[in-house]
Amino acid sequence: MSIAFIGLGANLGDPAATLQRALRDLVQIPGLRVVQCSRSYRSRAVGLASQPDYVNAVAKIDTALTPPALLDHLLAIESRHGRVRGGERWGPRTLDLDLLLYDQLQFRDARLTLPHPEICNRNFVLAPLLELAPEITIPGVGPARHVLEKLGSEGLWLLDVEAAAVDSRTVLDEE
Q: Which of 29-38, 90-99, 103-112, 118-127 has the lowest mean pLDDT?
A: 90-99
Mean pLDDT confidence for 151-164: 78
Predicted pLDDT of residue 173: 53
Is the pLDDT at 157 greater than 50? The verdict is yes
Respond yes or no: is residue 72 known to be catalytic. no
In the structure, what pLDDT confidence band is assigned to residue 162 with cuts at 50, 70 and 90?
A: very low
Helices 144-151 & 123-132, crossing angle to 10 degrees?
A: 140
Assign 122 a pLDDT band (cuts: 50, 70, 90): very high
Please tell me the predicted confidence (pLDDT) of residue 94.
86
Average pLDDT value for residue range 85-105: 84
Q: Tell me if residue 93 is catalytic.
A: yes
Give the per-residue pLDDT at 91.
Answer: 66
Inter-residue contact 104 to 139 (CB < 8 Å): yes
Per-residue model confidence (pLDDT) at position 98: 95
Q: Which of 21, 33, 44, 83 is catalytic?
A: 83
pLDDT surpassing 60 at residue 142: yes
Point out the catalytic residue in the list 39, 93, 122, 167. Answer: 93
Residue 169 belongs to domain with CATH number: 3.30.70.560
Among residues of the chain, what percentage have pLDDT more than 90? 77
| The pLDDT value given to residue 163 | 41
Parent domain of 23: 2-173
Q: In the prediction, which pLDDT does 164 show?
A: 41
pLDDT at 62: 97
Going from the C-alpha of 97 to that of each of 5, 43, 59, 135, 142, the distances in angstroms are 10, 16, 10, 23, 23
Supply the DSSP string of the chain, one letter for each residue.
-EEEEEEEEE-SSSHHHHHHHHHHHHHTSTTEEEEEEPPPEEEPPSS-SSSPPEEEEEEEEEE-S-HHHHHHHHHHHHHHTT--TTSSTT---S-EEEEEEETT--EE-SS-EES-TTGGG-HHHHHHHHHH-TT-EETTTEEHHHHHHHH--TTEEEPPHHHH---HHHHHHT-
Whether residue 175 is predicted with pLDDT greater than 70 in this model: the reply is no
Choosing from 25, 96, 122, 167, the catalytic residue is 96
CA 109 to chain centre: 20
Percent of the chain scoring above 70 in pLDDT: 86
Band of pLDDT at residue 39, cut at 50, 70 and 90: very high
- Of 25, 39, 42, 98, which one is the catalytic site residue? 98
| Number of separate domains in the chain | 1
Confirm whether 160 is a catalytic residue.
no
62 is catalytic: no
